[in-house]
Structure 1
Amino acid sequence: MDSYKDISDKKEEFYNLAIKYYYNIDKEYLDNISKIVNKSISILVDHEFIPTPCIEIRLELHHQDDDVNVSSYYLYINEENEFIDEFLY
C-alpha cells in the first residue's frame, strides 16, 4: 500500500476488478441483479480473519424489479491485486 493517491488514481480499475470477480458467482443469483453501484474502496489494516493490510472494494447490488439495494459484495485483494477473499451478503 504505497500511497493513497495510487489507489485513488486506479479506483476504476479496482471497481472493474471487483465486478469481474462478482460475475463468477452462481448465475441464478445474478439474474435478480440489474444494477451494480460502485460504493467504496478502503484500506483494511486490521481484521480478525482477513490477512491485512489489504484493499477492500465494496459494490452495492440492486434488484431488477426496483432500484433498491438488496445486498453488497466485498472483494479483498493484496497490493499486487491478487485475490484474498470475497464476501456477499
Structure 2
Amino acid sequence: MNLFNLNIENKDEYYNHAIEYFNKITVEDHNCGNFDNIVPKSISILIHHDFIPAPCVEIKLDILQNQKKIGNYFLYISEQKEFIDEFLIF
C-alpha cells in the first residue's frame, strides 16, 4: 500500500489501532488519574521528522476528562501498520 493512497474507509481501523496501543499504557505510566473518553482526532501522513522515521502514519487521539481535553496521544506506524513510536502529552 502506498501511504498517499490511504483509503478513507479504513480510518476506523487506524483509530482502533491507536486506541489499542493507548490502552496498553497503564494509569501509573501517564499519571492523569481517570479520564472519560478517548476521541479520534486526526490521521496524517508524516513526510519528514527530525527523529521519527518517515514517511509514516500519525494517528492523533484527544483524551478527555469531565468533557474537557486534558491531553493527546500520538501513534506513529509504518506503511505496514507496524509500531514506530508513540507520545502521550498531558
- TM-score, L = length of structure 2: 0.87
How much identity, in percent, do the aligned residues show?
A: 46
Offset, 1:8: 1.4
2:58 aligned with 1:37:
no
> Using the alignment, how far apart are the partners of 1:12 and 1:83 within structure 2?
17
Cα distance change on mapping 1:18 and 1:72 into 2, 3 Å: same
1:32-71 alignment runs, 5 A limit = 32-63=34-65, 66-71=66-71
> Using the alignment, how far apart are the partners of 1:6 and 1:85 within structure 2?
20
- Does structure 1 conserve the Cα–Cα contact (< 8 Å) formed by 2:3 and 2:56? no
Offset, 1:6: 2.8
Residues 27-55 of structure 1, C-alpha deviations (whole Å, 9 max, x = no match): 34475111111000000000010000000
Cα distance change on mapping 1:74 and 1:60 into 2, 3 Å: same
Q: Which runs of 5+ in 2 are unaligned?
A: none
Q: How many residue pairs were aligned?
A: 87
> Using the alignment, how far apart are the partners of 1:6 and 1:47 within structure 2?
20
Residues 39-80 of structure 1, C-alpha deviations (whole Å, 9 max, x = no match): 0000000001000000000000001xx200000000000000
Question: 2:74 corresponds to which letter in structure 1?
Answer: Y
